[in-house]
Amino acid sequence: MVKIKICGIRRLEDIEIVNKYKPDYIGFVFADSKRKVSYELASQLKANLSPDIISVGVFVNESEDEILKLYADGIIDIAQLHGGESEDYIKYLKDNTNDKLKIIKAIEMSEDKDLSEYDNSQADYLLLDSGKGSGKTFDWRLIRKDLKKEFFLAGGINSNNIKNAIEEFNPFAIDLSSSLETDGYKDENKIKEIMEGIS
């Protein structure tokens, strides 16, 4: 069964909705974005999050120590990296958490992107996307059928194309954000439709 991640959680109302519909993961965005949350707000949201939902921190070239603090304080369970973070950067995060902090490495897909370079990455998962929060799909034909790592599929996925994405590529997880919003905020009806549609 494919897992679902709902990214860009930033209100207590959002937490109430996800607690009700139980996606596998939710994302707190700490990078510059209209969905950015502070340490304090993320702490409050995590305190109200159902314990069986995994929290993912979304970062772009953040200091390693800031990520480690959020992990140590129990605010994030996984780090999702969208910048130019190196293998040494990932190794530092792993070494300083006894390999307990799972890492998702986001890749902006394009025709000249060679996914084989990530086969031996220390990241636990890949996230294939069209760009940082673009809300657009990329050419799914660029996805290698022999990827060595499990991957999250992101970018422009909605109730109209999610079943096709799952059937054709069998991703580990689907990552959703803007398609579940109305006027820039999470919409319970859209979340309900997605969660009930894949169950």
Residues catalogued as catalytic: 7, 129
Q: Where do the H-state alpha helices sit in the chain?
A: 12-21, 39-48, 64-72, 87-95, 162-169, 188-197
Instruction: Give the DSSP H or E segment for 125.
Output: strand 125-129
199, amino acid identity: S
Q: Which residues contact 1 (CB under 8 A, 6 or more apart)?
A: none
- The Cα-based distances of 129 to 14, 74, 80, 107, 132 in angstroms read 23, 27, 12, 6, 7
Q: Which of 169, 168, 167, 154 is nearest to 197 (CA)?
A: 167
Query: Which structure tokens are listed for 122?
Result: 């220390």
C-alpha to C-alpha distance for 193 and 64, rounded to whole angstroms: 37
Bridge partners for 80 per DSSP: 58, 104
